[in-house]
Amino acid sequence: MSRTTQHFRRAFLVSACMACLVAPLSAAPVFWDIRFDEDSIRDGINTTLVRDNLIAAANEWTQYIDAVPGVRVDVLVRFDTSIPRAGGRSFTSAYVGHNGQFEVWEQALSTKLRDGFDVNGSDPDVEIIINPNYAINTLWFDPNPGSPNPAIPSNRVDAYSVLMHELGHALAFNGWRNEYTGAIGGFGSTFDALTIVADDGFMYFVGEEAMRVYGGPVPLTWGNIYHVGNNVGFPGSDLLDDLMNGIIMRRGVRYEVSLLNLAIAYDSGVSVNPVFLVIPAPTTLAIVSLGLAITSIRSRRNR
């Protein structure tokens, strides 16, 4: 058994539980080959809708990523009642280096998109798992995924958003730390390498770009640390509407890949195009306000 396979077998499967971006540039196309575990499909599951929503969700992420032109990503979808809702991961990981504390590995999907290198050969690159009852009774699969202003039923969770969330785990939001203590053994993920345990007992992501976007260390979800945010009254309650929050997926809501999500992915080694991480240009009102403030300061100084 190879070292990579050993790390794959020991990898956690992270379960499911906005900032405004500039318009994406024309990214090189990524081809998504979706296949289903046929034995796991249940009556009431429309695999065409699942496939269409998954491809659209994947394209939502990769429009911000500098990927190898024409790279193909193999995704396995299976339905399993052993998880409460949904989960997503890269099937394996790729060795990055040693940070002085542990070996650092990145999600193989990130490697393939950036370098075109297929870490695990003919095996799938990504696995998406969905509880079939969750798919049938709770999720809403958009018949026109990716279309603006979808009419999501108020009593359903948007499957497109859930699939974007799970692909976030396959890209970067994953690792091997103890999710309550932060303890780690001889290996960790690129995400783990930028995670600290603070004096308040919570864990924070401290990647440079993520801290610039958020304004400081990014609070991770207590006991579910490959997510951001916590309930009201705890660090990160302002992140409860973020796509990668670890508390709730609200019904009737379409989530978006946020600037913070992209910054965390970038810090974790995903080839996010830096153009999407620039500080937004100030609005006309901000420019006018700044001009008035400067004029006022000069006026006081000249008195």
Q: Give tens-digit pLDDT for 258-300.
A: 999 999 999 999 999 999 997 554 444 333 433 443 333 333 3
Q: Per-residue pLDDT tens for 23-73?
A: 454 456 899 999 999 999 999 999 999 999 999 999 999 999 999 999 999
pLDDT of residue 27: 58
Q: What's the CA gap between 91 and 85, in Å, rounded?
A: 19
Q: Are 209 and 272 in contact (CB under 8 A)?
A: no
pLDDT of residue 146: 78
Q: What is the mean pLDDT of residues 205-220?
A: 98
Please state the domain extents for the chain.
Answer: 3-301
pLDDT of residue 28: 63
pLDDT of residue 256: 96
Q: What's the CA gap between 102 and 194, in Å, rounded?
A: 12
Q: Per-residue pLDDT tens for 130-146?
A: 999 999 999 999 999 97
**In which residue are the tokens 């998954």 written?**
54
pLDDT of residue 23: 47
Using the predicted structure, report yes or no on whether residue 18 has a pLDDT greater than 50.
no
Using the predicted structure, report yes or no on whether residue 230 has a pLDDT greater than 50.
yes
Q: What is the mean pLDDT of residues 208-215?
A: 98
Residues sharing a CB contact under 8 Å with residue 71, sequence separation 6 or more, in sequence order: 28, 30, 31, 112, 113, 116
Q: What's the CA gap between 239 and 220, in Å, rounded?
A: 10
Using the predicted structure, report yes or no on whether residue 2 has a pLDDT greater than 70.
no
pLDDT of residue 278: 79
The encoded tokens of residue 278 equal 């620039």
